[in-house]
Structure formats: structure tokens, C-alpha cells
Amino acid sequence: MEFQNLVTLIQTVSDSELTQFSYEENGVSLSMKKEKKEKFIAVENAAAPQVTAVEFHGTSGTEETAKEEGFDGNVVKSPLVGTFYASPSPEDDPFVKVGDPVSKGQVLGIVEAMKLMNEIESEYDGVVKQILVSNEDVIEFGQPLFVIG
């Protein structure tokens, strides 16, 4: 990659909402990461909305972390930056809804990153207690997506 193209790429990533970016070409790899404190609103149930403000600090998905973040259950977090999709296509029903039982390995949603569709699978057996993102939301690495109880 030419130096000017590299400078342009770095500036573009710096000016964007991305918090992490990796690129590889001809055996040379480039990785950029910036720390960002995010706030988001979680809607617990569409039938009886209860809005909870949550502050995200980018920690691991353990049960202890779930308690620290104010979630009652196990948190499934995004493994990458991208766009979240709740269903395989706009015409289809969502993969899961609040109250649905889920098994470890079951697909909960899709994250599109760099034109690649990545399935987000449940890391836990249980019931979907909360869905913390909406269809087509831009999500960050490590952002909580689902609470499984």
C-alpha cells in the first residue's frame, strides 16, 4: 500500500465511529484500535417497554460482568464491529424474541462486517431475557447484545 493511501486510511478510520480496524495486504497487516466510552438504551420488552440506561466499558462476558453491568443473566456480546441484523432477510422473522428458549450454539443474530455475514451464536442455554440492540444498529466490539437467563 502506498504511503498516501495508508495516511488516508488511517485518517478515515480515525474520523469514523469504528473502534477497531484490521487490514492485511501482501503479507503486511495493519491493526488500529481506539478506546471509546459508549452509552446505549436497552429496551426490555416491546409489549411493556422498560428503558434502562447502561454504561458500557468493554469487559468480558462472564456472569460477574453481567452483574456489574446491571444485567440479570448471561450477556452475549458482539465479537466484532459491524451492523446487526435480527433476521436472515428483511422478510423473515427474527432469529429470537424476548422469552424464546435458546440453546448453546443457536444463532441469535447476524453482524455484517466488511460485506461478510457473521452469525452470533448463544454461548449459553436458557431464555432470552433482553435484546439490547435493534435491527440494523451499528454495533461495537464487545457491546452487549443479548441477556440469556
Residues 18 and 52 placed together within one structural domain of the fold:
no
Say what the pLDDT of residue 148 is.
93
Task: Give me the sign of the Cα torsion angle 62, 65, 70, 75.
Answer: negative
Quickly state the pLDDT bin for 127 (edges 50, 70, 90): very high
Say what the pLDDT of residue 4 is.
76
| CA 38 to chain CA centroid, nearest Å | 12
Residues 16 and 87 placed together within one structural domain of the fold:
no
| 115 or 50: which leads in pLDDT | 115
Say what the pLDDT of residue 66 is.
46
Contact (Cβ atoms closer than 8 angstroms) between residue 53 and residue 79: no
Contact (Cβ atoms closer than 8 angstroms) between residue 43 and residue 51: yes
Residues 44 and 96 placed together within one structural domain of the fold:
yes
Number of domains, the chain:
2
| 83 or 28: which leads in pLDDT | 83
Joined grid coordinates for residue 32? 488500529
Residue 37, C-beta contacts closer than 8 angstroms, at least 6 positions apart: 55, 56, 57
Q: Which domain holds residue 102?
A: 37-148
**In the predicted model, is pLDDT for residue 57 greater than 50?**
no
